[in-house]
């Protein structure tokens, strides 16, 4: 199975900050990498797919990049509603896998 | 509007069984693959199982293979997860997710249910 490793596992930041979360795959997954945001008690929501394509309705302060094994999610100008847990997911293999999540805290 | 509504969660003893359902609406159900994803307390998301639109192909994470069975009834727009030989480590919120295909963009979960809690404990 393809292992996905996110870092950091938790991150403290302030409103207005720029933060970057990284996700590393155990093998080349091209750009079959998605990012989800999950708030407490809620279902995950798709933010970015294919490594860098913003899902409809997602604010432009979110951006994604990378290919192969190394990927990033960047939030520029954090807003109060952005404090949540972020998950990366690979869909290169039919056995999808997620990273362990990154909790973004105030 | 796409809606996914899970049901069937609850408290079950180790070794017991449970069947989860996910009622879908707002899209042509049979045209889309579907998945089950879970999140255990204090852990990240774990993809559990997936099924093609026709139901002909199924996929499982190693952690659940042989114990959990995914299926679908396209006439009822419903996805199922039959859970047998349950263990404490299966305790989690279980979500169903619609698996969209973006061509060169690959697959991604563009819609999720609200989740149903499964607790395995004596």
Average pLDDT, chain B: 97
Q: What is the pLDDT of residues B18-74, one digit of tens each?
A: 999 999 999 999 999 999 999 999 999 999 999 999 999 999 999 999 999 999 999
Measure the CA–CA gap between A87 and A22, rounded to whole angstroms.
10
Q: What average pLDDT does range B96-103 have in this prediction?
A: 93
The pLDDT, as a whole number, for residue A62 is 98
Q: Tokens 């199922």 correspond to what residue?
A: B80
A chain contacts of residue B115, beta-carbon cutoff 8 Å: 43
Distance from CA of B76 to the nearest CA of A (A): 23
Q: Is residue B105 pLDDT above 90, yes or no?
A: no
The pLDDT, as a whole number, for residue A19 is 97
Q: Does A96 contact B113 at a Cβ distance shorter than 8 Å? A: no
Q: What is the pLDDT of residues A43-91, one digit of tens each?
A: 999 999 999 999 999 999 999 999 999 999 999 999 999 999 999 999 9
Q: Is residue A9 pLDDT above 90, yes or no?
A: yes
A chain contacts of residue B105, beta-carbon cutoff 8 Å: 31, 49-50, 53
Beta strand A62-67 with A33-38 is: unpaired
Q: Does B105 contact A49 at a Cβ distance shorter than 8 Å? A: yes
Q: Does B110 contact A55 at a Cβ distance shorter than 8 Å? A: yes
Distance from CA of B16 to the nearest CA of A (A): 26
| Closest CB to B112 among A1, A43, A49 | A43
């Amino acid at each position: 199975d393809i292992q996905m490793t996110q870092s950091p596992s938790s991150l403290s930041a302030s409103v207005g900050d720029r933060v970057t979360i990284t996700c590393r795959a155990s093998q080349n997954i091209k750009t079959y990498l998605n990012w989800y945001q999950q708030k407490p008690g809620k279902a995950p929501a798709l933010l970015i797919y294919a490594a860098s394509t913003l899902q409809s309705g997602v604010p432009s302060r979110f951006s994604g990049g990378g290919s192969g094994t190394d990927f990033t999610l960047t939030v520029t100008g954090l807003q109060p509603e952005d404090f949540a847990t972020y998950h990366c997911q690979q869909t290169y293999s039919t056995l999808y896998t997620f990273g362990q999540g990154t909790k973004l805290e105030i | 509007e796409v809606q996914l509504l899970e049901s069937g969660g609850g408290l079950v003893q180790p070794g017991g069984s449970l069947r989860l359902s996910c009622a879908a609406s707002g899209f042509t159900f049979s045209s889309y693959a579907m998945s089950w994803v879970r999140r255990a307390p204090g852990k990240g998301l774990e993809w559990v199982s997936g099924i093609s639109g026709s139901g002909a192909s199924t996929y499982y994470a190693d952690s659940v293979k042989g114990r959990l069975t995914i299926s679908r009834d396209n006439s009822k727009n419903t996805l199922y997860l039959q859970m047998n030989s349950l263990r404490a480590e299966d305790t989690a919120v279980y979500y169903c997710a619609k698996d969209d295909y973006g061509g060169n963009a690959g697959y991604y979960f563009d819609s999720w249910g609200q989740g149903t809690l499964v607790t395995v404990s004596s």
